[in-house]
Amino acid sequence: MKIAILGGTGSIGEGFALRWAGKHDILVCSRELDKAVSSADEYKNLLTYKGMQCCSMTGCVNENAIEGADIVVLSVPYQGVVTLLKNLYPYFKNQIVISLVVPMKKNNFFEYMPPEQGSAALEIQDILPKSVKVVSSYHNISARKLAQLDLELNYDVVVCGDDDDAKHTVMELTHEIKSLRPLDGGGLASSYMIESLTPFLINLAMRNGLSDLGVKFV
């Protein structure tokens, strides 16, 4: 599949690009072409150094990537996602869009601040064409650990979505990352429960001197 990662030059975007490059064509996306190309070259060099396979890794601007993608990963901050997607609306057709987006703000600690729809995922679904399948997942994966290819990620990943085929595709992608276990979290309306875990985990880490917390259901 061809996977476009919006925010592909950021820390968690890097991790997904590296982890999926062995089986899929990866489009590392940014508003700035030079930045996207530079990051894609850096990721390819790292994979070569590690002796790992890379199908295809290309740096490109968001518009060009979305048009040809099967899957679009939104690894961007909530504060800019509405404007970004409205500007990119004409380039979406029937892709699967994976939302990692969490609406939160920081005072002393982080607070979950969902939009009127109830979650970022539902707001994103409202913005995009009805032919696009929105799936909510990967909110509680450590970006630092994801980018360290020698590490196994012993986490559970909850996947929420209203389209069963799209949800199954994302769960299969999750299986490709060693030691991640995908769990069906139901429809997109359940996304708020998983999104809200992100600020909770960050606050838990801050209060207890921990870092890179994830979720495991036992």
Encode burial over 159-176: b for 16+ CB neighbours within 10 A, e otherwise.
bbbbeeebbebbbebbee
Query: What was the pLDDT predicted at 215?
Result: 95
* pTM, full prediction: 0.96
Query: What was the pLDDT predicted at 180?
Result: 96
Query: What was the pLDDT predicted at 4?
Result: 98
Q: Is residue 109 part of a domain?
A: yes
Q: Is residue 27 part of a domain?
A: yes
Q: Is residue 215 part of a domain?
A: no
CB atoms within 10 A of CB 99: 30
- pLDDT tens digits, the chain, 218 residues: what are they? 999 999 999 989 999 999 999 999 999 999 999 999 999 999 999 999 999 989 899 999 999 999 889 999 999 999 999 999 999 999 999 999 999 999 999 989 999 999 999 999 999 999 999 999 999 999 999 999 999 999 999 999 999 999 999 999 999 999 999 899 999 999 999 999 999 999 999 999 999 999 999 999 99
For residue 4, CA distances in Å to 11, 12, 27, 95 come to 15, 13, 5, 10
Q: Are 102 and 112 in contact (CB under 8 A)?
A: yes
Q: Is residue 217 part of a domain?
A: no
DSSP states along 179-197: T-EEEE--SGGGHHHHHTH
Q: Is residue 67 part of a domain?
A: yes
CATH number at residue 128: 3.40.50.720
User: Is the Cα torsion angle 7, 8, 11, 12 positive or negative in sign?
Assistant: positive
153 token code pair: 């990620």
**Which residue from 52, 50, 73, 53 is spatially nearest to 62, judged by alpha carbons?**
73
119 token code pair: 């979650």
Report how many domains make up the chain.
1
Domain that holds residue 22: 2-208
Q: Is residue 218 part of a domain?
A: no
Q: Give phi and psi for 82, each to the nearest 5.
A: -65, -50
Query: What was the pLDDT predicted at 11?
Result: 86
Query: What was the pLDDT predicted at 207?
Result: 96
Q: Is residue 164 part of a domain?
A: yes
For residue 9, CA distances in Å to 71, 150, 185, 203 come to 17, 20, 28, 26
The one-letter amino acid at 84: L
Please state whether beta strands 156-161 and 133-136 pair in parallel, antiparallel, or not at all (unpaired).
antiparallel
